[in-house]
Amino acid sequence: MTTITTDADGAFVRSSSFVDDRITADGSDGWPVEPGRYRLVVSLACPWAHRALIVRRLLGLEEAVSVAVADPIQDHRSWRFTLDEDGRDPVLGIRYLGEAYERARPGYDAGISVPAVVDVPSGRLVTNDYPQITLDLSTEWRAHQRAGAPDLYPEKLRPAIDAVAEEIFRDVNNAVYQTGFAQSQQAYESAYHRLFDRLDTLSEHLATRRYLVGDTITEADVRLFTTLVRFDAVYHGHFKCNRAKLTEMPVLWAYARDLYATPGFGDTVDFDHIKRHYYLVHTGINPAGLVPVGPDLAGWSAPHGRDALGGRPFGDGTAPAPRPDLVGRGYRGFASPRPLG
């Protein structure tokens, strides 16, 4: 289950401890890029793991890096493969992600988190460094990306992308958790105001630009989207981020719908997993374990009108091919044991 750590002021503190080995084209960390060797373990509920699913799909790395989907409901041993036949991941042969952590770090007693990349031959965790995983998929796996894959981390824009990504992490991605898990009124209000101040700034910025950095989708947009798509379903009520719903912030709501309609974004969203995870796992916040029926998701497919701002979603590249089994449903219903491609 979820472990919440707070500081002396009652503010939520996210763990900064990672198994931070890297898979690189030159194998300098001991893990060379090799199609078919690694398995990406995700929860469809987790925004950090969702980033990796989006980037993998946009870049066409489905055949190069397989995916394992954990049950959105954790138990005392954390992420488990109860969605798969016999409760085991069919490739790794394990019941719990923690088994891969233990093989990599015997006696490992820190958090078991997703996304995690596991070496299939050895069954060992390679990395759970979620900020780096997506950057490496963009830069180190170029030789195995699909023809027409977009450049999500163009070299000339990296300083700007990194700066925006840091603000988004501090004031949006992590701030919703700091709001929801605060153990004092002061800590809650501090995170709450920081969150909405940043959302106001982002709204102003995106009012005249289709994307966060440059005129194409970049890593920065991926990182913002995974929080926005969970906002009304979870963060507004469950985490008390309730100054306004996403649907009441016109610019961000249109921006999020624009991305949702883009192949690779909306077709990797599973609202069922998202809601069941947050509302059933966070028993300290929701002791009755009630999962809300709403919100109404019909608005996600409404016209967004942001084409008028210009921009080229994939730059000089192309969109990933449609997935008929996913369109309009995200991964819902295909979490196991059917491969996600």
Average pLDDT, whole number, for the chain? 92
Chain-centroid distance, C-alpha 50: 3
Using DSSP's 3-state secondary structure scheme, residue 20 falls into: strand
pTM: predicted TM-score of the whole model, two decimal places: 0.93
pLDDT at 325: 53
Q: Does the pLDDT value for residue 125 go beyond 60? A: yes
Separation CA 157–CA 153 (nearest Å): 7
How large is the average pLDDT for residues 118-145?
97
Q: What is the mean pLDDT of residues 74-85?
A: 95
Helix axes 219-230, 47-59, angle to 10 degrees: 130
Pairing of strands 23-24, 38-42: unpaired
According to the model, what pLDDT value does residue 245 have?
98
Rounded to an integer, the average pLDDT of 135-158 is: 98
* Residue in the block written with tokens 């991305």: 259
Look-up of token digits 């719903």 = 245
- The residue with greater pLDDT, 159 or 2, is 159
Q: How many helices (H) and strands (E) does the chain have?
A: 9, 6
Look up 46 and say whether it is catalytic. Answer: yes
Select the more confidently predicted residue: 111 or 68: 68
Checking if the pLDDT of 58 tops 50, the result is: yes
Using DSSP, state whether 14 is helix, strand or coil. coil
Least Cα distance to 115 among 173, 65, 46 occurs for 46
User: Distance between CA 202 and CA 314 in Å, rounded?
Assistant: 21
Quote the pLDDT of residue 330.
39
Angle at 13 between CA 232 and CA 246, to 5 degrees: 15
Confidence of residue 332 (pLDDT cuts 50, 70, 90): very low
**Catalytic residue flag (residue 177):** yes
Neighbour-count burial for 242-253, b at 16+ CB within 10 Å, e otherwise: eebebbebebbb
Domain boundaries, the chain: 155-269+281-309
pLDDT at 60: 97
Residues 6+ apart with CB under 8 A from 85: 336, 337
Select which of 38, 46, 188, 235 is catalytic.
46
Q: Which CATH class is domain 155-269+281-309?
A: mainly alpha
pLDDT at 64 over 60: yes
- Residue 32 forms beta bridges with which residues? 24
Positive or negative, the CA dihedral 274, 306, 56, 165 is negative
Residue 322 confidence (pLDDT): 81
- Of 78-82, 139-143, 330-334, the poorest mean pLDDT is in 330-334
Percent of the chain with pLDDT over 70: 91
Task: Please tell me the predicted confidence (pLDDT) of residue 4.
Answer: 76
Q: Which of 101, 130, 177, 260 is catalytic?
A: 177
**Please, which pLDDT band fits residue 327 given cuts at 50, 70 and 90?**
very low
Q: 135: closest CA among 15, 247, 245, 22?
A: 22
User: Is the pLDDT confidence value at 318 over 90?
Assistant: yes
pLDDT average, residue stretch 234-247:
98
